Structure 1
Amino acid sequence: MNSETQQSMRASRQALIAAALSDAFLILVFAAIGRDAHQRGDIVTGVFLTAWPFLAGAAIAWFAGRARRRPLSMATGVMVWLGAVAGGMILRALTGQSVVLAFVVVALLSLGLFLVGYRALLALARRLRKS
Structure 2
Amino acid sequence: MPHSRNRWIIAAAADILLILAFAAIGRDAHARGDIIGGVFLTAWPFLAGAAVGWVGSRAWKSALALWPAGASVWIGAVLVGMLLRAATGQTVVLPFIIVATLALGVFLLGYRALVAVLGRLARKRKSTV
What is the TM-score with the length of structure 2 in the denominator?
A: 0.92
Q: Between Structure 1 and Structure 2, how many residues are aligned?
A: 122
Which residue of 1 is the match for residue 45 of structure 2? 53
The answer as to 2:101 corresponding to 1:108 is yes
Q: Match for residue 117 of structure 1?
A: 110
Mapped partners of 1:41, 1:72: distance in 2: 34
Aligned to 1:82: 75
TM-score after normalising by structure 1? 0.91
Residue 91 in 1 paired to residue 80 in 2? no
The whole-number CA distance in structure 2 between the counterparts of 1:45 and 1:110 is 21
**Residue of structure 2 equivalent to 1:130:** 123
Aligned to 1:37: 29
Write the distance in 1 (CA, Å) between the matches of 2:13 and 2:52.
15
Q: Tell me, in whole angstroms, the C-alpha distance in 1 between the residues paired with 2:81 and 2:4.
A: 28
Q: What is the deviation of 1:12?
A: 2.5
Percent of aligned pairs with the same amino acid: 60
Deviation at 1:125, TM superposition (A): 0.2
Alpha-carbon shift at residue 108 of structure 1 (Å): 0.5
Q: Is the 8 A contact 2:74 2:108 kept in 1?
A: yes
Deviation at 1:110, TM superposition (A): 0.2
Deviation digits for residues 6-38 of structure 1 (CA, Å, limit 9, x no counterpart): xxxx82331010000000000000000000000
Q: Deviations over 1:66-97 (max 9, x none)?
A: 00110000111111001100010000000010
Find runs of 4+ consecutive structure 1 residues off by over 6 angstroms: none
Any unmatched runs of 5+ in structure 2?
Answer: 125-129
Pairing of 1:8-23 with structure 2 (within 5 A): 11-23=3-15
CA–CA separation in structure 2 for the residues paired with 1:12 and 1:59: 20
Q: Following the alignment from structure 2 to structure 1, what is the Cα–Cα distance between the partners of residues 56 and 65?
A: 16
RMSD: 0.9
Question: Matches of 1:123 and 1:12 in 2, distance apart?
Answer: 14
